[in-house]
């Protein structure tokens, strides 16, 4: 494996020449004794949003979990020149990796306030002002058990936990999954603001959200990264989107039924 | 009437001892998914070392009794922390191996206790008041029951305050729900593992001293015998639930006492039947979360 940028073989946009904040090379991941990520190269651009795309089950979530060390992994994951692969998850995170997992994963039995307090990361400033500015509702519902919140509110808690800290990079996995259109727009707004503070790697099925937020895109197929390039170019190419993502670029969503605000 | 009252206090007293063992088991399982088959060892060690200290300071004095509780708690804590650090943590996420190691430690420790203290029971004496009875509604209730109930209630209160009011308590509660997500917030959950073992060890060590007074003796098998019932209590209460463990402890002990008295010594059988009923109707236990 050479250390060449995976962007070389595609149409590298001008902004891609900047040093990536996160450089993933030959990443492999194992879940339940099975190799679900076979070979992923990806760069997270130092500013803005890099989208991680692909059909259901291609290994997007597993790639993110592998970056965090939540699943067995090999390869290299460089953040700021340090390889994260030898580190346990909590030390990866303390280096400034914020994580918003698929399906929110709030602590249902803890209050909203305790969910946030638990997320206060050692060695970081805690931006409660930002968080309560973005999500005033969380301030009002501070004493409520997170498990009793609606799906949209839980997603806010999950986003707030990550945005509370100083991040070098944010890993956000399907933040609009199952949300009503109004909430999709709100999450999208929050992410745009988050991306001004720290670069984001975003897994997202809603292509309109990708179009609005992402400058760069990486596409996975069967546990392998198969495409890197400007997000706009990918989404402008109907044949390519159809082949890689299984949808027409102009229909936006990848055929996933929305489940508006169902309490998770 | 007086028989019922006596059975009630005796049952709750036994429940207190079950709780002191089951609380640790339940927290350990809830957080780490480890079935700690060596947990009874913490109890026996606490009982033996408490017995040794009490007999040196005067078994019939309150000083001796208080010292035995202190030493029992300490012995349980230290041994539990070492077990976690030296054995269990090395087998992180390897559940079969963890079970084998704790079973092995249980067997080895019983053999060690046999070697040091012999296989015959050592009879325990305490302050004279503990051996006397207090009349409650016409029943003569042995005073050691009250002490066991009081200590267990204080331990329950302490655990609840710790879990609800401290950051480590919060980490443990969150970890019982979703351990991976706790680490993904940048928290080293292994510290919480050691802490949970240590707390379990304290409770079991106290339970050992109290059990030796309740039964009147200590033997190398005392802990592992109680462990069987503590596991049943933990399953009935719901693995991982402290409240569940408290309720189930009292429930199981009362059932055992009443069935022993009124149904011709069928207490243990009744407990097994209760376990089967709970498993069939509420597989995750009284207070357990759905799997
Ligand atoms: N816990 C698991 N046990 C077994 N297989 C899994 C597990 N999690 C994910 N997989 C498999 O790994 C592959 C990649 O899954 P995932 O990373 O969740 O994909 P994506 O996020 O792209 O939808 C899928 O084929 C899925 O079936
Ligand atoms: Mg996924």
Instruction: Please work out whether the CB of residue A58 comes within 6 Å of at least one atom of ligand 1.
Output: yes
Instruction: Specify the pLDDT at position A1.
Output: 38
pLDDT greater than 50 at residue A10: no
> Chain B residues with CB inside 8 Å of A165's CB?
186
Question: Is A116 contained in some domain?
Answer: yes
β-partners of residue B141 are: B134
Instruction: Specify the pLDDT at position A3.
Output: 41
pLDDT greater than 60 at residue A191: yes
Instruction: Specify the pLDDT at position A6.
Output: 47
Instruction: Please work out whether the CB of residue A32 comes within 6 Å of at least one atom of ligand 1.
Output: yes
Question: Is A214 contained in some domain?
Answer: yes
Torsion-angle region of residue A151: left (phi > 0), alpha (psi -120 to 50) or beta?
alpha
**A245 Cα–ligand 2 center, Å:** 14
Question: Is A67 contained in some domain?
Answer: yes
DSSP, collapsed to helix, strand or coil, labels residue B161 as helix
Is the domain B2-281 a CATH 1.10.3470 member? Answer: yes
Tokens of B106: 């249980």
**Three-class HEC string of chain A:** CCCCCCCCCCCCCHHHHCCCCEEEEEEEEEECCEEEEEEEEEEECCCCEEEEECCCCCCHHHHHHHHHCCCEEEEEEEECCEECCCCCHHHHHHCCEEEECCCCCCCCCCEHHHHHHHHCCCCCCCCHHHHHHHCHHHHHCCCCEHHHCCHHHHHHHHHHHHHCCCCCEEEEECCCCCCCHHHHHHHHHHHHHHHHHCCEEEECCEHHHHHHHEEEEEEEECCEEEEEEEHHHHHHCHHHHHHHHCCCHHHCECCCCCCCCCCC
pLDDT digits (tens, 9 = 90+) for A87-142: 999 999 999 999 999 999 999 999 999 999 999 998 899 999 999 999 999 999 99
Instruction: Specify the pLDDT at position A229.
Output: 95
Q: What pTM value is reported for the model?
A: 0.85
> Chain B residues with CB inside 8 Å of A99's CB?
184-185
Question: How large is the average pLDDT for residues A155-173?
Answer: 98
Give the nearest chain A residue to B181 (CA atoms): A105
> Chain B residues with CB inside 8 Å of A90's CB?
183, 185-189
Instruction: Specify the pLDDT at position B216.
Output: 92
Tokens of B99: 């079970």
Question: How large is the average pLDDT for residues A177-189?
Answer: 95
**A174 Cα–ligand 2 center, Å:** 7
Question: Is A55 contained in some domain?
Answer: yes
Quick check: A37 and A67 in contact, CB under 8 A?
no
Closest to B47 in 3D by CA, of B130, B116, B136 = B116
Number of domains composing chain A? 1
Please state which of the ranges A20-24, A248-252, B1-5 shows the lowest mean pLDDT: A248-252
Instruction: For residue A253, name the pLDDT band (cuts at 50, 70, 90).
Output: low
* Range(s) of the domain holding residue A173: 16-245
Closest to B156 in 3D by CA, of B27, B282, B63 = B27
* CB within 8 Å of chain B, chain A residues 50-69: 68
pLDDT digits (tens, 9 = 90+) for A46-92: 999 999 999 999 999 999 999 999 999 999 999 988 999 999 999 99
pLDDT digits (tens, 9 = 90+) for A212-229: 999 999 999 999 999 999
Report the CATH number at residue A148. 3.40.50.300
Instruction: Specify the pLDDT at position A17.
Output: 55
Instruction: Using DSSP bridges, classify how beta strands A97-100 and A224-230 pair: parallel, antiparallel or unpaired.
Output: unpaired
Instruction: For residue A241, name the pLDDT band (cuts at 50, 70, 90).
Output: very high
Question: How large is the average pLDDT for residues A146-173?
Answer: 97
pLDDT greater than 60 at residue A252: no
**A203 Cα–ligand 2 center, Å:** 8
Instruction: Specify the pLDDT at position A8.
Output: 43
Residues of chain B where predicted confidence (pLDDT) is lower than 50: 290-291
Instruction: For residue A2, name the pLDDT band (cuts at 50, 70, 90).
Output: very low
């Amino acid at each position: 494996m050479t250390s060449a940028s995976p962007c070389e073989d595609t149409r590298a946009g001008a902004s891609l020449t900047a040093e990536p904040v996160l450089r993933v090379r030959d990443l492999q991941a194992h879940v339940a004794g099975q190799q679900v990520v076979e070979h992923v190269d990806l760069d997270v651009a130092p500013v803005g949003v890099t989208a991680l795309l692909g059909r259901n089950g291609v290994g997007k979530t597993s790639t993110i979990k592998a970056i965090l060390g939540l699943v067995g992994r090999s390869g290299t994951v460089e953040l700021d020149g340090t390889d994260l692969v030898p580190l346990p998850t909590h030390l990866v995170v303390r280096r400034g990796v914020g994580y918003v997992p698929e399906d929110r994963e709030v602590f249902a039995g803890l209050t909203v306030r305790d969910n946030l307090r638990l997320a206060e990361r050692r060695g970081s400033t805690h931006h409660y002002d930002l968080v309560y500015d973005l999500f005033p509702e969380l301030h009002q519902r501070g004493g409520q058990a997170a498990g009793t919140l609606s799906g949209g509110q839980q997603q806010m808690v999950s986003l707030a936990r990550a945005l509370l800290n100083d991040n070098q990079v944010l890993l956000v996995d399907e933040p609009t999954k199952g949300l009503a259109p109004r909430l999709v727009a709100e999450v999208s707004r929050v992410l745009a603001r988050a991306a001004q503070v720290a670069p984001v790697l975003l897994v997202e099925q809603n292509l309109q959200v990708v179009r609005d937020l992402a400058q760069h895109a990486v596409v996975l197929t069967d546990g392998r990264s198969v495409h890197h390039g400007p997000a706009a170019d990918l989404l402008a190419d109907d044949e390519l989107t159809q082949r890689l993502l299984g949808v027409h670029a102009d229909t936006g969503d990848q055929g996933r039924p929305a489940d508006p605000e169902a309490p998770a | 009437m007086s028989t019922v009252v006596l059975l009630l206090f005796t049952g709750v007293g036994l429940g207190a001892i079950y709780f002191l063992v089951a609380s640790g088991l339940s927290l350990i399982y809830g957080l780490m998914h480890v079935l700690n088959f060596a947990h009874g060892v913490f109890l026996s060690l606490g009982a033996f070392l408490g017995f040794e200290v009490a007999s040196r300071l005067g078994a019939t004095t309150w000083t001796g009794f208080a010292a035995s509780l202190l030493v029992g708690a300490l012995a349980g804590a230290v041994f539990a922390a070492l077990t976690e650090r030296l054995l269990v943590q090395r087998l992180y996420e390897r559940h079969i191996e963890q079970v084998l190691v704790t079973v092995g430690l249980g067997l080895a420790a019983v053999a060690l206790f046999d070697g040091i203290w012999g296989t015959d029971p050592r009879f325990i004496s305490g302050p004279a008041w503990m051996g006397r009875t207090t009349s409650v509604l016409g029943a003569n209730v042995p005073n050691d029951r009250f002490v066991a109930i009081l200590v267990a209630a204080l331990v329950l209160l302490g655990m609840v305050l710790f879990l609800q009011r401290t950051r480590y308590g919060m980490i443990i509660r969150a970890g019982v729900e979703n351990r991976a997500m706790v680490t993904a917030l940048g928290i080293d959950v292994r510290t919480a593992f050691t802490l949970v073992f240590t707390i379990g060890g304290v409770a079991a060590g106290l339970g050992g001293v109290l059990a030796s007074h309740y039964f009147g003796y200590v033997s190398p098998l005392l802990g592992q015998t109680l462990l069987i019932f503590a596991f049943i209590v933990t399953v009935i209460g719901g693995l991982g639930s402290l409240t569940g463990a408290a309720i189930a402890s009292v429930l199981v002990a009362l059932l055992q006492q009443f069935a022993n008295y009124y149904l011709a010594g069928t207490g243990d059988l009744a407990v097994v039947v209760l376990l089967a009923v709970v498993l069939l109707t509420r597989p995750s236990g009284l207070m357990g979360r759905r799997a």
